[in-house]
Amino acid sequence: PKKKSILDFYKMKEEGDKVAWITAYDFPTAQFAEQAGMDMILVGDSLGMVVKGYSGTVPVTMEDCISHCQDVRRGAPNTYCIGDMPFMSYQVSNEKAVENAGRFLKEADMDAIKLEGGQRVCDQIRAITDAGIVVFGHIGLTPQSSGQLGGFKAQGLHVDSARDLIDDAIAVQEAGAEALLLEAVPPELTEFIAKKLKIPVYSIGAGLPCDGQLLICGDMLGMFQAFTPKFVKQYANVAEIEIAAFEEYIKDVKEEKFPTDDHVYNVQDPIEEFEKL
Ligand code: KIV
Ligand code: NA
């Protein structure tokens, strides 16, 4: 398939075609996502939890992100890919934000970057946009600032915080972001924001009424065991499949049922020649 551009996503919003995307962090998952026809792929800093086993995303580095973006790009050369900016790669200054955002394009061939926050990162969004880079905003449950939120908690459940999120959404669009991701906010708020903004609004745990849905591959495939957010629908249980396969393999090895004649390379000269060795 031909790789989509940001214009296709604008058109899809206009025509009411929903965007389906997942996170991926490695070559095989990226390949499978592209073969399945995924509209876009996020190389999320959730890789810290899903792939590296951290309890949050805060420890993830630029080097981690760039490396995984490169792996995903090799697996999905024809899919729109978004690189996720890790904690402290954009908060410190506009200059640092632009420099790091640029690395996702120059070193990992990403199509866009995503960063977390509303009004308080609008200077950075503008600076990155002015450098010619497509920015995806991300508000609501923002894992990099989960310390301030008191954990991985749904946001915008009450009128005051919902109003703040609406202000954030508008500010992010005004700053030049070309799409916005809402995480773990009520569908009523999602619908309001999606109607209010010109840019596409996507949901992860933010309900149906918007322009598309994102899930974390580790959650939807059943590969992440630490916890499962309420908003996850599990489409497969890969952990179960892998564990069963490993158990069977262990049993085969112990009982010498593997390898068999099918799994070996047989000699190509008369066996007598080998017996003289
Ligand atoms: O890193 C990630 O996967 C994300 C999603 C949780 C939105 O940012
Ligand atoms: Na993230």
List of the chain residues with pLDDT < 50:
none
Q: Which atom from ligand 1 is nearest to the alpha carbon of 44?
A: 1
What pLDDT sits at residue 262?
96
Cα-to-centroid distance, 8 and ligand 2 (Å): 23
What pLDDT sits at residue 1?
74
Cα-to-centroid distance, 7 and ligand 1 (Å): 23
Cβ proximity of 99 and 48 under 8 Å: no
Virtual CA dihedral for 105, 111, 116, 120, nearest 10 degrees?
Answer: 70
- At the topology level, CATH places domain 6-237 in TIM Barrel (3.20.20)
Catalytic residue among 183, 188, 247, 273: 183
What pLDDT sits at residue 150?
96
Domain boundaries, the chain: 6-237, 241-275
Cβ proximity of 66 and 152 under 8 Å: no
Question: Is 178 a known active-site residue?
Answer: no
- Which protein residue's CA is at the shortest distance from atom 8 of ligand 1? 44
Cα-to-centroid distance, 57 and ligand 1 (Å): 9
Residue 45 counted as an annotated binding residue:
yes
